[in-house]
Amino acid sequence: MSFSTSAILKKEQDQEYEQLANKHRPKPRVLLNCLKAFTVGGLICLLGQGLMWMYVEGFGFKPETAGDPAVATLIFISCFLTGIGVYDRIGQWAGAGTAVPVTGFANAIVSAALEHRAEGWVLGVGGNMFKLAGPVIVFGTVSAFFIGIIHTLIQMMM
């Protein structure tokens, strides 16, 4: 048997295996997963709105400025829950509902830091928690730059 014949047989076996695996693979529950994500993401946003209300009514912030401490509080809560292992369990159940808000970004950074804490504070925690943050910050900055240019050009044309 030549090399090309064995390669063809291998490819056919791989295709048969893929078909068999697909036949027995459980179907994703798209609607249920969407409902879970929507519910948990909505609850996070509801908590944020409640925090804004608390800062306005309880601490005398103006509605325009209450968002900053509310977001900071959400980030703190997310980091704390990640540190004690709760946020990841919620994330496994809710899926994208916990990943999309700012709390998901905080969770990702803290998770990376915790994963590498055995390597030390500087090289382990400090070096690895910014592996995710760096690209996100660069992408956000570059996107904001181009959107600003587009906005300026549109304003100049009007």
pLDDT tens by residue, 106-129: 888 888 778 777 777 777 777 777
In this structure, is residue 48 part of a structural domain?
yes
In this structure, is residue 130 part of a structural domain?
no
In this structure, is residue 111 part of a structural domain?
yes
In this structure, is residue 156 part of a structural domain?
no
Tell me the pLDDT tens digit for each residue of 58-93: 999 999 999 999 999 999 999 999 999 999 999 999
Domain containing residue 63: 33-119
Q: Do the Cβ atoms of 99 and 40 come closer than 8 Å?
A: no
pTM, whole model, 2 decimals? 0.68
In this structure, is residue 4 part of a structural domain?
no
| 29-to-26, 89, 101 alpha-carbon distances in Å | 9, 19, 22
| DSSP letter, residue 62 | -
In this structure, is residue 51 part of a structural domain?
yes
